[in-house]
Amino acid sequence: MNPSSSATNVVAAIDPQPEPRYSATITSFDWTDISTLSGVTSLSLGDDSYTNINLPFAFPFFGSPQTAVAVSSNGFLTFDTTGQTAYSNSALPKGSHPHSMIALCWMDLYPNEASAAVYVHATSDRVIVQYSAVPTYSNRGLRLTMQAVLRPSGRIEVRYLSVPANFSSGTAGLENSDGSWGLGFCFNTAGCLYSRLAVAYDTLADPVRLVPGGPYSLPAGGSVSAQLVADAGGFSAGSSHSMTLRLTDSGGVATTAPITLTTPASPALVLPRGSVDLGSIVLGISTTFALPVGNSPMATDRLNVTQLGCGGCSATFSASGLPLSLLPGAQGSLQVTLTTQGSLGPSSAVLSLTHN
């Protein structure tokens, strides 16, 4: 409320806000082969090497503007100045360098194999880094074609044009500058990465914010309503955080109010693969496939998966590996066995997982 006799504009601020967090969403696949575009740069990357490239815009990554990035031969980008050639992948987040990373498929790759290449194409509205037919170091017959797209908004799009069938190696996801938080999309999980997969990483909204966010125009004696929204996703479990709401009017006069946010513990189920196409199956014959399951790094409690269900299905499903227990940020897999029944023809089913 504005108790004065003249109108004023009020600006609201809540501080300190935590470091931004990210979400990962499987999105529609799109591919631009940058190797044929004018102005493309082909990087000379040997085994366990990297190249620094300048960005045409300040790219916000975990809240910090970045003007250059290291492209590693081993399937990741990093803003770190240590560990750019790391070839032994691990789950995210991790205690060792490199931090501040974007992992497309971090593992030991070999981009100087014949017909393999790594390209960069930059414009004012996006930077694309493309790994083309890059094989793994241990098996030169397994090749990946994938690209990362960085946008000025901070959005990251990772696209996988070609991934070997049932590929079970590599780390995909994001990690902040000190390894205290990461968003692990995949870690050495069969079927998690597959051909024509596209993943978008977006920053989440400030965890504590006013809606609408202002500024607010208040006539003399008038008032405005706003909701204080709190999202605990960016904080660790069971912790309390003190902040200050500051309202500053046109004359520079500030009014403050304390805010305390306490976060409960909760798991967050992640299914990196939205659907599974099993192709042609003989009636009465069983087939088994891997169903990747994860607990989000933003979760604040252990995930316990206890049961697989399929209501009204014309086939029977069973799963080995239950119960499955995963710490925040951990990845696992269930081996699901399908036994077909009924008549010939196309069939689909929706599986359900029971968890805490």
- Identify the CA nearest to 246 among candidates 4, 11, 7: 11
Residue 276 in contact with residue 268, Cβ under 8 Å? no
Q: CA 339 to CA 286: how far, in whole Å?
A: 4
pLDDT at residue 348, as a whole number: 73
Give the pLDDT confidence of 227-238 residue by residue, as tens digits: 888 776 556 566
pLDDT at residue 246, as a whole number: 86
Q: CA 80 to CA 70: how far, in whole Å?
A: 8
Give the pLDDT confidence of 276-317 residue by residue, as tens digits: 777 777 777 778 878 888 887 666 677 888 888 776 677 777
Go through 78-115 and write b for each residue having 16 or more CB atoms within 10 A of its CB, e for each that does not. Answer: bbbeebbebbebebbbbeebbbbbbbbbbbbbbbbbee
Q: Residue 137 phi/psi, 5° resolution? A: -65, -40
pLDDT at residue 23, as a whole number: 87
Residue 229 in contact with residue 211, Cβ under 8 Å? yes
pLDDT at residue 242, as a whole number: 82
Contacts 24+ apart (CB under 8 A), 145-150: 146/75, 146/104, 146/105, 147/31, 147/34, 147/104, 148/77, 148/102, 148/104, 150/55, 150/59, 150/69, 150/102, 150/126
**What does the pLDDT profile of the chain (356 residues) look like in tens digits?**
556 657 678 888 888 777 888 889 999 999 999 999 999 999 999 999 999 999 999 999 999 999 999 999 999 999 999 989 999 999 998 989 999 999 999 999 999 999 999 999 999 999 999 999 999 999 999 999 999 999 999 999 999 999 999 899 999 999 999 998 889 899 998 889 999 999 999 998 777 888 887 788 878 777 888 888 877 655 656 667 788 888 888 888 888 888 887 776 677 777 755 667 777 777 777 788 788 888 876 666 778 888 887 766 777 777 887 888 887 777 777 888 877 776 666 777 777 888 87
Q: Which helix (H) or strand (E) holds 140?
A: none
Sheet strand arrangement including 324-326: 324-326, 303-309, 352-355
- Identify the CA nearest to 56 among candidates 154, 152, 129: 152
pLDDT at residue 117, as a whole number: 97
Give the pLDDT confidence of 36-73 residue by residue, as tens digits: 999 999 999 999 999 999 999 999 999 999 999 999 99
pLDDT at residue 200, as a whole number: 95
